[in-house]
Amino acid sequence: MSSQYNLTSNEKNVLIALENLKDASPDELADKSEMKTETSMQAAFLLEEKGLAQVDETITEIFELTDEGKKYAQEGLPERQIIDAISGPTSMDELKDKFNPAVAGIATGWLRRKGWAGIEKGMIVPTSNAEKGEDEKILEAFAGEAKTFEELGADKKVINDLIKRKLVVKTENKKRKICITSEGKELVVAGITVEEEVAQLTSELLKSGEWKEKKFRPYNIHTAPRPIYGAKIHPYQRLIDEMRRIFLDMGFTEIKGEAVQSSFWNFDSLFQPQDHPAREMQDTFHLSSRSELPLEYKDKVCAVHENGGETGSTGWGGKWSEDIACRNVLRTHTTSLTIKYLADNPEAPVKAFSIDRAYRRETIDPTHTPEFEQLEGVVMDKDMSFSNLLGCLAEFYYRMGFEDIRFRPGYFPYTEPSVEPEVYVDGLGWVELGGAGVFRKEVTAPLGIKYPVLAWGLGVSRLAMLKLGLKDLRQLYHSDIDWLRKSEVCQL
């Protein structure tokens, strides 16, 4: 009969021990079954799953005096010490002289709260005969020991006040009681034979041939094993690596650069007017440091801004200020890296990308953080066209697993035409993922670039949110251990 339950010898021992125990404590059970407490409890839990035993847990709240509580239990609460010591109006200074200033300080608040004294013109004036309060009775009731609520005969509110005063602490005491169920009893009555079981086949057993006589503990293939969380790369980093791989596979070179950039490279070289709202204090992290302007480009960039230079454009008009262009900022987009790279490498062809952090003064909310990653890229070559740009982006998103892609017209001061790529996500609809376009000649000409430049800057964290099914961007940066453990390395 017992075979139907597939009991281990430990479980059998515990079951037999339980037959004559009533509401056993873990120690009693360990004693009776002649096993370690931990092993016998483990067996008891397994028996409970099989309906043969029952483990009840009760949690008792235990209260204890803190060191300060013990002191006041002996000497009296500060307000008691003081009210007993004064007979008429007394000044605070006098109290502080006579008593420890901390005691005097604590006492005055409580004297008023308890209605034992008032404060008039800076004097403490006793107003009642200060009968012994519930809190004082409880402090006495402890008699220096840890006690339960019932033993103290306490009122919840009074105990809580003492806890708030840090005179009493609460701990929880877990007690377990184990008993046999009627099914368990039936099983024992029907007879259980405890045989020695072998849990592991060893080379000794094999060599000696002993294995033939041994009884092996059967595997229970129905219990779920404890999950093992192996070390793994952060899911966000994994996605970033995947994006990097895609561009490397497409023949792009990765570029890196400084987080601190001059306004010149972050804005001016990209034909962003100096009064553009994105350059305002509330949108950009401005730094107090400055950079030298690159001599070979600064006059040409100046001319393009003021009157279009030799590009045929009218420029933005007004006076371009070197002083503004020198000011350093935390790069607001990684386009500052690609434009500088193009200036340093003006010969075609160029295929470069960067995945890195950008900084904007955003108020933090589920879809905005002041630091975020961008995936930036440029292609410069003879005969490059707008369709090459769309093809390149479509290929990237396709490789990331998005099949429905569309492009909406967009606007950036440095590109013409400009688009905003969007991908379709079930349940969310079309989601905007960044910006792209063909650099204007106002951008390329001052840097000596002769061929068309396709450029894009895509939101990496947005894409990660979609891929990881997150509703809050901040989760990417939180390192919530539970989420990290459960995140899947590959989706089945």
Ligand X SMILES: N[C@@H](Cc1ccccc1)C(=O)O
Annotated binding site for L-phenylalanine: 335, 374-376, 414, 439
Which parts of 308-407 fold into alpha helices (H)?
322-326, 335-344, 386-399
Residue 181 sits at φ, ψ, to 5 deg, of -95, 170
The least distance separating ligand X from the CB of residue 422, rounded to whole angstroms, comes to 14
The least distance separating ligand X from the CB of residue 374, rounded to whole angstroms, comes to 6
The least distance separating ligand X from the CB of residue 434, rounded to whole angstroms, comes to 6
The answer to whether 162 touches 139, Cβ cutoff 8 Å, is yes
Own/partner contacts of 477-486, CB < 8 Å, gap of 24 or more, are 477/236, 477/369, 479/234, 484/234, 484/235, 485/229, 486/229
Q: Which residues are annotated as a binding site for Mg(2+)?
A: 416
Give the span between the Cα atoms of 1 and 192, in whole angstroms: 9
For strands 197-198 and 215-216, give the pairing. parallel
Task: Determine how many CB atoms are found less than 10 A away from the CB of residue 316.
Answer: 19
| Residue nearer to ligand X on the CB measure, 13 or 335 | 335
Which parts of 125-199 fold into alpha helices (H)?
134-142, 149-152, 156-164, 182-190
| One-letter amino acid of 227 | P
> Cα–Cα distances in Å, from 342 out to 111, 350, 400?
77, 8, 27
Contact footprint for ligand X (CB under 6 A)? 333, 335, 412, 415, 434-437, 455-457
| Residue nearer to ligand X on the CB measure, 41 or 339 | 339
The least distance separating ligand X from the CB of residue 350, rounded to whole angstroms, comes to 14
| Residue nearer to ligand X on the CB measure, 116 or 456 | 456
| Residue nearer to ligand X on the CB measure, 186 or 395 | 395
Give the span between the Cα atoms of 428 and 221, in whole angstroms: 41
The least distance separating ligand X from the CB of residue 68, rounded to whole angstroms, comes to 58
**Whose structure tokens read 């007993």?**
84
| Residue nearer to ligand X on the CB measure, 223 or 363 | 363
The least distance separating ligand X from the CB of residue 437, rounded to whole angstroms, comes to 5
Give the span between the Cα atoms of 59 and 149, in whole angstroms: 12
| Residue nearer to ligand X on the CB measure, 147 or 360 | 360
The least distance separating ligand X from the CB of residue 355, rounded to whole angstroms, comes to 13
Q: Which residues are annotated as a binding site?
A: 335, 374-376, 414, 416, 439
The least distance separating ligand X from the CB of residue 439, rounded to whole angstroms, comes to 7
For strands 53-65 and 168-180, give the pairing. antiparallel
Give the span between the Cα atoms of 476 and 461, in whole angstroms: 8
Where does residue 373 rank: exposed (0-12), middle (13-18), buried (19+ CB within 10 A)?
buried
| Residue nearer to ligand X on the CB measure, 184 or 437 | 437
| Residue nearer to ligand X on the CB measure, 116 or 439 | 439
The distance in angstroms from the start CA to the end CA of the chain is: 42
- Minimal CB distance to ligand X: which residue? 457
The least distance separating ligand X from the CB of residue 419, rounded to whole angstroms, comes to 8
Q: Report helix, strand or coil for 129.
A: coil
SS (H, E, C) 60-121: EEEEEECHHHHHHHHHCCHHHHHHHHCCCCEEHHHHHHHCCHHHHHHHHHHHHHCCCEEEEC
Residue 407 sits at φ, ψ, to 5 deg, of -125, 125
| Residue nearer to ligand X on the CB measure, 446 or 459 | 459
